[in-house]
Amino acid sequence: MLTRSPATQNPLDRLTETGLAWGEGTYARLAAPIGAVAFALYILLTAFTAWGMPDANWDMLPYLAISEEGTYPDVQALHDYAYSTVKSGVSAGDYKVLTDDGGGFRSHMTENAADFHSLLGMYRIKFLYAEILSTLSAVMSPVAAMRLVQVFSVLLFGAITLLWLHREKALALAPVVGAVLIMADFGDAARASTPDLLTSALLLGGLYAYVRGREAATAILLFLAFMVRPDNIVFLAIFAVLLAAFRQKAWGALAGFAASFVAYFAISHWAQHPGWWPHLWFSSIEQHYNMDGFEPAFSVIAYLRAFATSMLRAVNLDRWVGVSVLALAGWFATSRAGFRPDRRAGILFAALVLGALAKFTVFPIHDTRIYFPHLIPPFLLLATPFMALWKASFRGQNRAALHVIPGEKP
């Protein structure tokens, strides 16, 4: 029987094949350090952006105001302090955007100190964030203090992520986690002068401590995350319920929830928070100019309209829904392949997904920053099963290669 001899390769093809084989082998050997360095560079770049290219957002004004209420008890003096501080800390163009929207909400708040002060209860509840700003403002400009908090939050978030991947022997996946951070608008969260990224970093630390079985650290970090943004109580409640339902021993998480639950009512009363429905009305239905005594009657129709509008915007304008679906797809893929996180991690994964859904249901607002604390931990929980799947696939390829006869087409 006559057979056709294999076609000879030209030198360029052989060089290309050799180069690709070398690159593949080198990356396979150095995937962990390459992944760690690439991720660290991304975090450092994001931190630099948070300091050098910050986003001037309107929420800076009330956050700076609540941080110095003790110094400026007079309503007008507090208003003047907040606006003058922001004016001196941002560009003229940014300040105009924050204070002049052609006679709308921002223009009104610029001219009306009493109405501006009536909004502070919705910001005062972020107690720990305000205290941090107040402390830092004693040694630097308040706007610089906000930027420093953002830089610290970026670095803390990145360090915990790298530590988590290192402990799971999954540093090779660090570039993938970096890509997920980009999709989840990590850069936007870093540039915004809000408490969202700080609470995300503290919550991530608490969840890492939970996974590692460090109960005291879990309780402390989860409580601190709550104190920065009390809406974390929704996630903590669901997490506690799931732990109790599945009889998982985790006293740190339960203690963190218990402390947060008690503190929630105390802080809400102290901060003079307007309440759930007035706050939801302001954020998702209509911006009311004066929140003092504002108590609109609850309306199912108004709630459903706000829910539908926010869901439409979340799906089409924001990233958190897509990133959450991607995490669920990862869970499904690894489970079908026979690789899944352990029971303790599985409960946490479910709590993160259900917590995001519950947070949206309780307070339907579409912004990705609100749900960012829930977006990255699921992928870190999937790191171990993905690495196991990767290694199993690699071993399978090696076994298949042993059955290939040299000179024959496999």
pLDDT at 236: 97
Cβ-contact 56, 99 below 8 angstroms: no
> If you write DSSP's letter for every residue of 177-203 in order, what string do you get?
HHHHHHHTTHHHHHHB-SSHHHHHHHH
Residue whose entry in the numeric block shows the structure tokens 């108590």:
295
Listed in sequence order, the residues at least 6 apart from 373 whose beta carbon sits closer than 8 Å to its beta carbon are: 196, 199, 200, 203, 204, 225, 232, 235
- Pairwise CA distance, residues 260 & 2, whole Å: 80
pLDDT 10s digits, 177-209: 999 999 999 999 999 999 999 999 999 999 999
Give residue-wise pLDDT tens across range 299-349: 999 999 999 999 999 999 999 999 999 999 999 998 888 888 889 999 999
Cα–Cα distance, 379 to 331 (Å, whole number):
9
State the Cα–Cα distance between residues 151 and 198, nearest whole angstrom. 10
Task: Give the predicted TM-score (pTM) of the model.
Answer: 0.90
Model confidence at 407: pLDDT above 50: no
Mean pLDDT calculated for residue range 41-45? 98
> HSE on the CB side for 47, CA within 13 Å?
18
**DSSP secondary structure letter of residue 192:** B
- DSSP element (H, E) containing 59: none
What does the alpha-carbon distance between residue 223 and residue 368 come to, in Å, rounded to a whole number? 22
Return the C-alpha torsion angle 56, 59, 64, 70, nearest 10. Answer: 170
Reported as a single tens digit per residue, the pLDDT across 340-393 is 888 999 999 999 999 999 999 999 999 999 999 999 999 999 998 888 887 776
Burial of 108 (0-12, 13-18, 19+ CB in 10 A): middle
3-state SS class at 55: strand
Contact 162, 185 (CB under 8 A): no
**C-alpha count within 13 angstroms, C-beta hemisphere, residue 366:** 17
